[in-house]
């Protein structure tokens, strides 16, 4: 049977019936509640903290209670677990009030008075001067020369806003401390990240920290790094109070104080020769990191590597920096730096095409990469690039070119139509040599005496279906029924560190290890006996070495590809648009389950459409203005239409059954396709997302 | 402990308010439960059967009781057509199952979706209370004076809003109706701007003309003087002078920037929808 | 004391009149179906049925269900209607993270019990107050639509 044939998901029944245990559903004997007292200023020194009278059983947990280092381990460690003497963003956690009654805990937290000596904060990317990461790398000739020889140079600047992950389940964790051992249960993507952070904060070794992922109500990157912070906070509180401490953020608190997609400002300078051919592109990318570096360095790397999009440009010069501000820290969100760049480069290419009097697709076709082409970091696109097949499929499904031609004719009346196309890739797995140098993934398959097996890996199912796809790979590899393959939520006492659930790596990297482990177990299979096999990451030998400082070499072993088409109708009276059709064509190597993969595509594309259109988040004086589901708008069922989705098989040897990274890819292309469609319908050019009705209507009301 | 009343009738509700002046009146709770104000006494109104009625009154007006939910309104054929455009755009099915039009009024939010519609209908708020002898007394007040400001209404601590009176005999002669809400998305959206308008056009001339905007001021905006000024104008004239007429009205609209939209957008949309309404007039 | 019927059983709650029905259901009666996603009636994860109508339990005052009938997924999952929805949700891949699922099921039930043969657009409207960030909704709509097709006589 084809591996893509859908199955009932491993976790379907437990979730469907409401029996799955999210952190809010699982009681801990003797548990008490915790709530953070958060900074009310964007930048300042804490002068004094005045606690209200704490009734018996109520406790304040502060930086002084941290047994180990009061610093959150992410890539490096900058952010305090509890702010010590300085706060760097509005909403930063200063201390925790704990106690048996949540209402009382909240009252006491609200009545805690903190005074500050306020410093001048940096409240926008434009004001920022300090970087926490920066890179510069080139391909081909010196850009000065290229520009000097150019017949024409076109420069444009693009901006992108925040995007909130808006997982339906808010962040939450319970900390337990007993017999010198800290345990954290929670909603999370990366149990071992939480473990490593907890070890550092609690001053404990490997054997004295245990992390258990509870059923997790969505992550999308938002539960990559933050669960480490909240986990450390409850662990410290549990040690101090002697009780399990539960902290679940309310939605407003979650939206205002947890990491989001980085706002960006991206400038392109493009050189054209006398025959209107692009000879070079200079890109400059600035990301708003927020108050602490966190994951920003790594996010920036992916932005930079996506800066030139799917185009083979002879000479490129790319600079970028992640800038520190006194705003909420930004972190991981599906796409991880790439959506900003792809929006910008796709729109830039459209704009150049319009300037040259060409249709965008015809113009882009002159530059699409193919196998063997050199990447912007002078690595190689080692594998087949199926852009021609994807274009053909898109024409078949959407009739893009004829619709484009039709909507290009002058339109009158209130409602006007437009169609837009984008082409994007996603570099599969971690950027650079991280898998080899830092992650070093390990998986185990344990075989029980009854000849059923259990997968032991640290990747968490956050809705993306990894329990099912892992199990399918192992069942297929062993030639046993799917029901004989067990997989539980990861518990670090039971599973090895197979790395985090990020970077679209779980299926490709860890799935491949499981495929190999299954093959070995099958070879060594002894009916009726308990057995265990373990597999370790092997770096692909075809890759060019990666130099992280020079930003040179193969940043990724391979790439997944996506083509998105968005067709819409624009209301010229309100600037609002209504989707008419949406199409996504994806090369994810080989889909391990068609229904799961369609689910990734459906959800990812709608998140991407939200990013491009209605998901507006701004700050004012350091405060997030849209901090609720009332004001931060994610699409509802009424805001979307049935999507057409197709896959192009293009198996990659480094992934199980040929599978490549898939989860993030699906989000990346929707925003630029939406923007292109609005541009066609309105006849206006735009430079920023979310492309809200406000921006559209203001452009339409300008004369000319 | 919060004192709680579960009145079965409107009379009992008024009695409860006179026993506990200022007690929190809860209908659907869809707004008050989000804001969670502290109260010593609460009156849960949804058991008061006579408040859940829609009834035709002798003068031809339609009384919509305070406990009639949006979902109930959609089921009643007597409800004017314009509500069938307006109500499906309010929040979500679950909210429409609980929320009431009276609640929308008493909540007195600038973004209340029914308010521009009620405003052009000249809807009246019907308010009841008990006098010293326990007799029911009632009064009515026009919507725009009942709403005094953001979350401020003209209701005494002993009074209960019994419902809304829609003067239909007059309304039914309007032969053009227009309503549009502009939110960030198609469902569950708090309006950035909304617009309701109606006209009675006879023999190519505007006889009666009403327009009201929501979310652009502390309460629905309406310009009776301008409406009068243009009544009697031939539709063709109005259309020919569309830009000037629109400017005339929009001059009085002063929206603000907030987390949902911008003043400039609200103003432009207000003008565009008004213009579109003029375009929609027959004749 | 507030008396009402919960999932077919008569119950008495000690809650105050404006306490959230959600807390009563979860904390007093151990229901796990209704989830708290926003606490403001925006996400629908806490959806339940009150006298057969879809309600957001996070903004329903406990006092407002006095004398009424409340159904959550915890009770609904014993029905044949649930069993069919279970199959079609599985088949359509309508469950990802699962946090919106209990609310979606209640919204589906509220719809199908009033309208056993909804159009795609009617399904969209019926779940428009239930946010889902994972699926993009279309697979949930397919699942409800499949259930309607196959549910001859069930609704």
pLDDT tens digit sequence for A23-63: 999 999 999 999 999 999 999 999 999 999 999 999 999 99
**Neighbour-count burial for C91-118, b at 16+ CB within 10 Å, e otherwise:** bbbbbbbbbbbbbbbbbbbbbbeeeeeb
Q: How confident is the model at residue C64 (pLDDT cuts 50, 70, 90)?
A: very high
Query: What's the gap in Å between the CA of B187 and the closest CA on chain A?
Result: 6
Of C75, C104, C131, the residue that ends a domain is C75
B152 and B212 within one domain = no
C7 and C23 within one domain = yes
Of A601, A613, A593, the closest CA to residue A657 belongs to A593
Of C29, C51, C75, the residue that ends a domain is C75
The percentage of chain A sitting over the pLDDT mark of 70, rounded to a whole number, equals 100
C99 and C71 within one domain = no
Which residues in chain B have Cβ-Cβ distances shorter than 8 Å to A636? 185-188
Of B123, B153, B169, the residue that ends a domain is B169
| Identity of the residue in B186, B260, B276 whose CB atom sits nearest the CB atom of A573 | B276
Residue by residue, what is the 3-state secondary structure of chain B?
Answer: CCEEECCCCHHHHHHHHHHCCCCEEECCCCCHHHHCCCCCEEEEHHHCHHHHCEEECCCCCEEEECCCEHHHHHHCCCCCHHHHHHHHHCCCHHHHHHCEHHHHHHHCCCCCCCHHHHHHCCCEEEEEEECCCCCEEEEEEEHHHHEEECCEECCCCCCEEEEEEECHHHHCCCCEEEEEEECCCCCCCCCCEEEEEEEEEECCEEEEEEEEEECCCCCCEECHHHHHHHCCCEHHHHHHCHHHHHHHHHCCCCCCCCCCCCHHHHHHHHHHHHHHHHHHCCC
Of B169, B193, B214, the residue that ends a domain is B169
Q: Residue A305, Cβ neighbours under 10 Å: how many?
A: 26
B127 and B198 within one domain = no
Q: In whole angstroms, what is the distance from residue A77 CA to residue A72 CA?
A: 5
B185 and B82 within one domain = no
pLDDT at residue C142 is higher than 80:
yes
Q: What CATH code is carried by the domain that includes residue B188?
A: 3.30.390.50
Q: Number of folded domains in chain C?
A: 2
Q: In whole angstroms, what is the distance from residue A441 CA to residue A425 CA?
A: 24
Q: Residue A414, Cβ neighbours under 10 Å: how many?
A: 13
Residue C138 belongs to some domain of the structure: yes
B231 and B132 within one domain = no
pLDDT at residue A556 is higher than 80:
yes
pLDDT at residue C140 is higher than 70:
yes
pLDDT tens digit sequence for A66-75: 999 999 999 8
B116 and B182 within one domain = no
Answer for the pair B263, B257: CB distance below 8 angstroms, yes or no. Answer: yes
| Identity of the residue in C38, C96, C128 whose CB atom sits nearest the CB atom of A636 | C128
C64 and C17 within one domain = yes
B218 and B127 within one domain = no
B184 in reach of chain A (CB within 8 A) = yes
Q: Please give the pLDDT value at position A704.
A: 53
B220 and B141 within one domain = no
C49 and C92 within one domain = no
pLDDT at residue B283 is higher than 80:
no
Q: If you measure CA to CA, which chain C residue comes closest to B190?
A: C42
- Length of chain C equals 155
Residue C38 belongs to some domain of the structure: yes
Q: Please give the pLDDT value at position A530.
A: 98
Q: Please give the pLDDT value at position C52.
A: 97
User: What's the mean pLDDT in A352-356?
Assistant: 97
Q: How confident is the model at residue A568 (pLDDT cuts 50, 70, 90)?
A: very high
| Identity of the residue in C47, C50, C128 whose CB atom sits nearest the CB atom of B187 | C128
Residue B36 belongs to some domain of the structure: no
Q: Do B268 and A638 touch (CB under 8 A)?
A: no
Query: What's the gap in Å between the CA of A596 and the closest CA on chain C?
Result: 7
Q: Please give the pLDDT value at position A325.
A: 98
pLDDT at residue A703 is higher than 70:
no
Residue B27 belongs to some domain of the structure: no
pLDDT at residue B280 is higher than 90:
yes
Answer for the pair A564, A669: CB distance below 8 angstroms, yes or no. Answer: yes
Mutate to test the interface with A, among C30, C138, C143, C146 (most CBs of A within 10 A): C138
C15 and C41 within one domain = yes
Of B169, B204, B230, the residue that ends a domain is B169
Q: Number of folded domains in chain B?
A: 2
Query: What's the gap in Å between the CA of A422 and the closest CA on chain C?
Result: 19
Q: Please give the pLDDT value at position A298.
A: 97
List the domain range (segments joined by +) for residue C40.
2-75
C85 and C143 within one domain = yes
pLDDT tens digit sequence for A275-319: 999 999 999 999 999 999 999 999 999 999 999 999 999 999 999
Of C58, C75, C92, the residue that ends a domain is C75
Residue B55 belongs to some domain of the structure: yes
Mutate to test the interface with A, among C33, C43, C95 (most CBs of A within 10 A): C95
Q: How confident is the model at residue B282 (pLDDT cuts 50, 70, 90)?
A: confident
Q: Do B187 and A636 touch (CB under 8 A)?
A: yes
A250 in reach of chain C (CB within 8 A) = yes
| Identity of the residue in A251, A602, A636 whose CB atom sits nearest the CB atom of C139 | A602
Q: What CATH code is carried by the domain that includes residue B57?
A: 3.30.465.10
Mutate to test the interface with B, among A571, A573, A634, A698 (most CBs of B within 10 A): A573
**Neighbour-count burial for B252-272, b at 16+ CB within 10 Å, e otherwise:** ebebeeebbbbeebbbbbbbb
Mutate to test the interface with C, among B92, B103, B187, B260 (most CBs of C within 10 A): B92
Residue B100 belongs to some domain of the structure: yes
Q: Do C41 and B39 touch (CB under 8 A)?
A: no
Residue B22 belongs to some domain of the structure: no
Q: Do C63 and B4 touch (CB under 8 A)?
A: yes
- Between CA A169 and CA A646, with CA C137 as vertex, the angle to 5 degrees is 120
Query: What's the gap in Å between the CA of A599 and the closest CA on chain C?
Result: 6
Q: How confident is the model at residue B2 (pLDDT cuts 50, 70, 90)?
A: confident
Chain C residues with at least one Cβ partner in B under 8 Å: 16-18, 20, 40-42, 44, 47, 50, 53-56, 58-61, 63-64, 66-67, 107, 110, 125-126, 128-131
**Neighbour-count burial for A19-34, b at 16+ CB within 10 Å, e otherwise:** ebebbbeeebeebbbb
Q: Do A603 and C98 touch (CB under 8 A)?
A: no
Query: What's the gap in Å between the CA of C111 and the closest CA on chain B?
Result: 10
Residue C155 belongs to some domain of the structure: no
User: What's the mean pLDDT in A650-656?
Assistant: 98
Which residues in chain B have Cβ-Cβ distances shorter than 8 Å to A693? 182, 184, 265
Q: Do C38 and A628 touch (CB under 8 A)?
A: yes
Q: Please give the pLDDT value at position B37.
A: 85
Q: Do C133 and A19 touch (CB under 8 A)?
A: no
What DSSP designation does A424 have?
E
B112 and B75 within one domain = yes
B145 and B118 within one domain = yes
Query: What's the gap in Å between the CA of C65 and the closest CA on chain B?
Result: 9
C36 and C15 within one domain = yes
> Which residues 597-656 of chain A have a CB within 8 Å of chain C?
598-599, 602-607, 628-630, 634-638, 640, 642-643
Q: Please give the pLDDT value at position C5.
A: 98
Which residues in chain A have Cβ-Cβ distances shorter than 8 Å to B276? 414, 573
C86 and C61 within one domain = no
Q: How confident is the model at residue A464 (pLDDT cuts 50, 70, 90)?
A: very high
B268 in reach of chain A (CB within 8 A) = yes
Sign of CA dihedral B90, B96, B101, B105: negative
Q: If you measure CA to CA, which chain B residue comes closest to C127?
A: B93
pLDDT at residue A555 is higher than 90:
yes
Q: Please give the pLDDT value at position C73.
A: 98
- Tell me whether the omega of the peptide bond preceding residue A323 falls within 30 degrees of 0, making it cis: no
pLDDT tens digit sequence for B162-205: 999 999 988 999 999 999 999 999 999 999 999 999 999 999 99
> What is the CB-side half-sphere exposure of residue B194 using CA atoms within 13 A?
29
Residue B11 belongs to some domain of the structure: no
């052009």: which residue's tokens?
A: B120
Q: What CATH code is carried by the domain that includes residue C114?
A: 1.10.150.120
B115 and B210 within one domain = no
List the domain range (segments joined by +) for residue B71.
49-169
How many contacts (CB atoms, under 8 Å) link A and B? 55
B145 and B76 within one domain = yes
- Between CA A491 and CA A494, with CA A492 as vertex, the angle to 5 degrees is 70
| Identity of the residue in B34, B36, B91 whose CB atom sits nearest the CB atom of C129 | B91
C124 and C84 within one domain = yes
Which residues in chain A have Cβ-Cβ distances shorter than 8 Å to C98? 11, 15-16, 20, 215, 217, 463
Which residues in chain B have Cβ-Cβ distances shorter than 8 Å to A701? 268
Residue B264 belongs to some domain of the structure: yes
C86 and C45 within one domain = no
| Identity of the residue in A16, A21, A250 whose CB atom sits nearest the CB atom of C95 | A16
Q: Please give the pLDDT value at position B36.
A: 84
User: What's the mean pLDDT in B148-175?
Assistant: 95
Residue C89 belongs to some domain of the structure: yes
Sign of CA dihedral C84, A474, A667, A159: positive
Which of A97-101, B14-18, B32-36 is the least confident region?
B32-36
Q: How confident is the model at residue A87 (pLDDT cuts 50, 70, 90)?
A: very high
Sign of CA dihedral A505, A506, A509, A512: negative
Q: In whole angstroms, what is the distance from residue C59 CA to residue C39 CA?
A: 7
Enumerate domains of chain A plus CATH numbers.
Answer: 23-121+171-248 (3.90.1170.50), 264-431+553-701 (3.30.365.10), 434-536 (3.30.365.10)
Q: Please give the pLDDT value at position A702.
A: 86
> Can you tell me whether residue C140 is helix, strand or coil?
helix
Q: If you measure CA to CA, which chain A residue comes closest to B277?
A: A573
| Identity of the residue in C33, C38, C129 whose CB atom sits nearest the CB atom of A18 | C33
Q: Do C55 and B47 touch (CB under 8 A)?
A: no
Q: In whole angstroms, what is the distance from residue B269 CA to residue B213 CA?
A: 10
Q: If you measure CA to CA, which chain C residue comes closest to B35?
A: C40
B265 and B201 within one domain = yes
C114 and C66 within one domain = no
Which residues in chain B have Cβ-Cβ distances shorter than 8 Å to A637? 187
| Identity of the residue in A576, A630, A693 whose CB atom sits nearest the CB atom of B190 | A630
B90 in reach of chain A (CB within 8 A) = no
User: What's the mean pLDDT in C125-130?
Assistant: 98
Q: What CATH code is carried by the domain that includes residue C64?
A: 3.10.20.30
Mean pLDDT for all residues in chain B: 96
Query: What's the gap in Å between the CA of A534 and the closest CA on chain C?
Result: 29
C51 and C107 within one domain = no
């Amino acid at each position: 049977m084809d591996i893509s044939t859908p199955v009932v998901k491993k976790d379907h029944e437990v979730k469907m019936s409401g029996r799955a245990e999210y952190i809010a559903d699982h009681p801990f004997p003797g548990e008490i509640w915790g709530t953070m007292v958060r900074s009310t200023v964007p930048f300042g020194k804490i002068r004094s903290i005045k606690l209200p009278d704490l009734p018996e059983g109520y406790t304040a947990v502060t930086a002084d209670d941290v047994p180990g280092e009061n610093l959150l381990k992410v890539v490096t460690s900058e952010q305090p677990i509890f702010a010590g003497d300085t706060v760097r963003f509005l909403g930063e956690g200063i201390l925790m009030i704990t106690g048996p009654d949540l209402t009382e805990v909240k009252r006491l937290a609200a009545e805690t008075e903190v005074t500050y000596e306020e410093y001048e904060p940096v409240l926008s990317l434009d004001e920022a001067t300090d970087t926490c990461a920066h890179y510069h790398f080139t391909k081909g000739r010196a850009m000065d020369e290229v520009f000097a020889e150019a017949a024409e140079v076109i420069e444009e600047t693009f901006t992108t806003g925040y995007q909130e992950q808006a997982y339906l389940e808010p962040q939450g964790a319970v900390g337990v401390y007993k017999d010198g051992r800290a345990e954290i249960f929670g909603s999370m993507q990366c149990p071992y990240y939480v473990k490593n952070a907890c070890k550092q904060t609690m001053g404990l070794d490997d054997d004295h920290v245990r992390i258990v992922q509870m059923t997790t109500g969505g992550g999308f990157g938002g539960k990559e790094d933050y669960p480490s912070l909240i986990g450390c906070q409850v662990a410290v509180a549990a040690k101090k109070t002697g009780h399990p401490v539960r902290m679940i953020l309310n939605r407003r608190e979650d939206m205002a104080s947890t990491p989001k997609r980085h706002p960006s400002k991206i400038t392109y300078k493009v050189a054209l020769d006398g025959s209107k051919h692009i000879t070079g592109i200079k890109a400059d990318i600035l990301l708003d990191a927020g108050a602490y570096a966190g994951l920003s360095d790594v996010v920036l790397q992916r932005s930079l590597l996506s800066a030139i999009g799917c185009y083979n440009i002879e000479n490129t010069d790319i600079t970028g920096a992640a800038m520190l501000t006194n705003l909420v820290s930004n972190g991981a969100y599906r796409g991880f730096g790439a959506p900003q760049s792809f929006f910008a480069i796709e729109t830039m290419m459209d704009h150049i095409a319009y300037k040259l009097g060409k249709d965008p697709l015809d113009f882009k076709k002159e530059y699409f990469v193919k196998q063997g082409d050199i990447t912007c970091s002078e690595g190689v696109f080692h594998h087949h690039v199926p852009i021609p097949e994807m274009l053909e499929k898109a024409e078949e499904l959407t009739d893009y070119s004829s619709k484009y031609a039709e909507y290009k004719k002058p339109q009158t009346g209130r409602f006007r139509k437009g169609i837009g196309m984008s082409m994007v890739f996603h570099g599969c797995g971690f950027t650079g040599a991280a898998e080899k140098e830092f992650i070093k993934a390990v998986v185990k398959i344990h075989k029980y005496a009854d000849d059923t097996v259990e997968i032991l890996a640290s990747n968490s199912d956050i809705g993306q279906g990894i329990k099912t796809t892992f199990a399918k790979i192992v069942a297929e590899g062993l030639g046993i029924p799917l029901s004989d393959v067990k997989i539980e939520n990861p518990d670090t006492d039971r599973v090895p560190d197979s790395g985090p659930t990020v970077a679209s790596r779980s299926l490709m990297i860890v799935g491949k290890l499981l495929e190999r482990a299954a093959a070995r177990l099958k070879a060594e299979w002894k009916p009726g006996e308990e057995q265990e096999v373990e597999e370790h990451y092997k770096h692909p030998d075809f890759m060019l070495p990666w130099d992280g400082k020079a930003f040179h070499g193969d940043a990724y072993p391979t790439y997944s590809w996506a083509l998105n088409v968005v067709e819409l109708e624009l209301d010229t009276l309100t600037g609002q648009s209504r989707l008419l059709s949406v199409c996504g064509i994806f090369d994810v190597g080989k889909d391990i389950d068609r229904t799961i993969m369609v689910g990734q595509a459906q959800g990812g594309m709608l998140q991407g459409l939200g990013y491009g259109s209605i998901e507006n988040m701004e700050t004012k004086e350091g405060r997030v203005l849209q901090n609720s589901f009332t004001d931060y708008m994610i699409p509802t069922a009424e805001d979307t239409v049935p999507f057409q989705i197709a896959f192009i098989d293009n198996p990659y040897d480094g992934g199980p059954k040929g599978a490549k990274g898939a989860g993030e890819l699906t989000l990346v292309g929707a925003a630029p396709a939406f923007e292109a469609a609005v541009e066609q319908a309105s006849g206006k050019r735009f430079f920023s997302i979310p492309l809200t009705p406000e921006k559209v209507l203001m452009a339409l009301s300008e004369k000319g | 402990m919060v004192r709680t009343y579960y009145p079965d009738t409107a009379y009992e509700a008024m009695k409860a308010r006179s026993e506990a002046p200022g007690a929190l009146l809860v209908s659907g709770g869809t707004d008050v439960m989000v804001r969670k104000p502290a109260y010593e006494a609460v009156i849960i109104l949804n058991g008061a059967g006579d408040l859940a009625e829609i009834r035709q009154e002798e003068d031809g007006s339609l009384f919509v009781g305070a406990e009639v939910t949006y979902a109930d309104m959609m089921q009643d054929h007597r409800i004017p057509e314009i509500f069938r455009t307006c109500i499906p755009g309010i929040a979500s099915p679950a909210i429409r199952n609980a929320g009431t039009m009276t609640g929308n009024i008493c909540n007195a939010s600038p973004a209340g979706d029914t308010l521009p519609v009620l405003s052009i209908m000249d809807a009246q708020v019907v308010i009841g209370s008990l006098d010293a002898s326990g007799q029911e007394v009632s009064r009515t007040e026009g919507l725009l004076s009942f709403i005094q400001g953001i979350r401020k209404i003209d209701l005494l601590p002993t009074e209960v809003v019994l419902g809304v009176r829609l003067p239909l005999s007059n309304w039914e002669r309007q032969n053009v109706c227009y309503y549009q809400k502009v939110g960030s998305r198609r469902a569950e959206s708090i309006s950035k701007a909304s617009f309701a308008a109606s006209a009675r056009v006879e023999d190519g001339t505007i006889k009666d003309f009403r327009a009201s905007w929501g979310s652009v001021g502390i309460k629905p905006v309406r310009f009776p003087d301008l409406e009068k000024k243009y009544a009697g104008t031939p539709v063709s004239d109005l259309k020919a002078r569309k830009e000037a007429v629109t400017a005339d009205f929009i001059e009085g609209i002063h929206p603000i920037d907030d987390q949902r939209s911008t003043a400039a957008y609200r103003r432009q949309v207000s003008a565009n929808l008004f213009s579109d309404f003029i375009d929609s007039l027959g004749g | 004391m507030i008396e009402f019927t919960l999932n077919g059983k008569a119950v008495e709650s000690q809650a105050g009149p404006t306490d959230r029905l959600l807390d009563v259901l979860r904390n007093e009666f151990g229901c796990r179906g209704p989830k708290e996603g926003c606490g403001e009636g925006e996400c629908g994860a806490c959806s339940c049925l009150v006298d057969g109508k879809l309600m957001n339990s996070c903004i329903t005052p406990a006092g407002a269900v006095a004398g009424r009938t409340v159904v959550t997924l915890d009770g609904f999952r014993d029905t044949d209607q649930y069993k069919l929805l279970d199959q079609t949700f599985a088949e359509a891949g309508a469950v990802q993270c699962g946090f919106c699922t209990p609310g979606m099921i209640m919204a589906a039930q509220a719809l199908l019990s009033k309208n056993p043969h909804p159009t795609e657009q009617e399904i969209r409207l019926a779940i428009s107050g239930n946010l889902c960030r994972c699926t993009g909704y279309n697979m949930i709509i397919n699942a409800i639509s499949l259930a309607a097709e196959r549910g001859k006589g069930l609704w």
